Every structure is written in C-alpha cells, then in structure tokens.
Amino acid sequence: MRTIAFYSLKGGVGKTAAAVNIAYLASQAGYSTLLWDLDPQGASSWYLAGAGEVKGHKLSHLLKGKTPIAEFIHESGYANLDFIPSHTSFRNLDVKLDQEDEGNLIKQWLAPLSEETSLVILDCPPSLSRLSEQVIKAADQVFVPVIPTWLSLNSWKQLQAFARDKKLKPSKLHPFYSMADRRKGLHRELINNQDEILPKGLKTIIPNASVVEKMGEEGIPVEILAPGSVAADAYRRLWKEIRRLL
C-alpha cells in the first residue's frame, strides 16, 4: 500500500480538486483507492458523495479504538474508489494528536487496510500543525499545489522550512502550479521561470478553469464532467507524473 497526500499551507489553491481528480484517475487505472478527507470542511466528501451529505464517524471513536477504521469507509459509487468522509470533530484532531504519545497515529490507523487498499490519498486541512507533521511522516509522497503568485510561493517556502525543522524529509514534498491563469502577467512570468522558482516541482500546470469550479455543483470528477477539457487533460498528466513517483 502506498500513501500520498495533497497538502497546502494556504486554502483555496485547488488542493481538494486535485485530490479528488487524482483519486478518480487512480481508481480507473486499477488501483484500489481510498481517499481520506481530513479537512473538517469536508469538500472532498462532498464531491465523492455526489454533491450530497454523508455522515462520518466521530474522531473519538477512532482514537479510543471503539470503531475500526474499516467502518469509517464509504463507497463512492465509482469502481475501486472508497472514501473516509470528514466529520466536524476532525477540527480537534491536532489537539488530540498532541495529547497522544503513541508514534504516528495516522500510519497506525491505516495499517489494517494494507491488504485491500493499494493507494491511500490524504486530503489535508491548510495548517502547520501536529497533523501536518504526522501526515508528512505517514505519506510516501506529498503533493503541494502552488498558485503562481509570490504569496503562494512564500507559503511553499514556509512548508519546506517546517519540514526541515521537523526532520520530515523535504525531498518527499512535490510542488506544482495550480489555478494558473496565463492571462495574468505575474502568472505567466512565474510559469515561464518555473525551472528557477520551482526547480524540483512537477511539470504539469493545473489551469484556473470554470469546469473545475463546476465540480462542486455537479459533485463529479472533471474526467467525467468534461473529459475533453484542458483541465481534464491537465489532471491526466498530473496523474502520470504522480504514478511515476509511486
């Protein structure tokens, strides 16, 4: 079983859209895929429930060992793709992790799924926290969407510094440009200088496209919603890069 995470210190950078679309593409490529929505906002749960609500379990049930993680899992309606929905109690996850001293709980919780799951995708809340630390430790690779702006790039630098400070192997962090709009001069400038600004970043650029926003309305991945779109092609190319790293 391989574990990857989509993480960003900033919100609104296309993190969840990338997590959901990559999860769908992985499942269609034959990977038994599980997406765990760790963000209390529950956006990826919304997408995978078909723009509907789904009831998750309280975090305390998992922490106290009352409920095995397999019972947290819901079917998505897509072959090979299941998900663990968010719950409002996840907002307390950082506090709970600080109170525990039992190693990497994220990794421990996922371990029983290894025989039936080939790929776990973690959709993480935007923060620098104990949860961030455990996610980066648990994941084999971490993918970081970065809008082509100086503010978003500064957040990327902060994440790198956090990883170095916590001895979390910064080499497993992979940035990629997201929500890019080439009509904007700054976006064009930073994209054109990507080799200097993001020298180890992925080469795929996810565009700022209305079809990605429409995912929230329809509750379906872009590959189904608009397979011939530029955005769908971009996510397919992103999946190819991620797959090579796996």
Q: Which domains does the chain have, with CATH numbers?
A: 2-245 (3.40.50.300)
In total, the chain counts a number of residues equal to 246
**Claim: this prediction has a pTM higher than 0.75:** yes
Higher pLDDT, 1 or 41: 1
The pLDDT of residue 49 is 81
Beta-strand (E) ranges in the chain? 2-6, 33-37, 74-78, 81-84, 119-123, 141-146, 173-177
Query: pLDDT digits over 174-188, tens only?
Result: 999 999 999 999 999
Cα–Cα distances in angstroms (integers) from residue 158 to residues 27, 84, 127, in the given order: 32, 29, 11
Cα separation of the two ends of the chain:
10
Average pLDDT over residues 135-162: 95
Contact yes or no for 128/169 (Cβ under 8 A): no
| CA-angle at 158, arms to 153 and 236, nearest 5° | 50
How many angstroms separate the CA atoms of 231 and 77, rounded? 22
Query: pLDDT digits over 61-87, tens only?
Result: 676 666 788 888 999 989 999 999 887
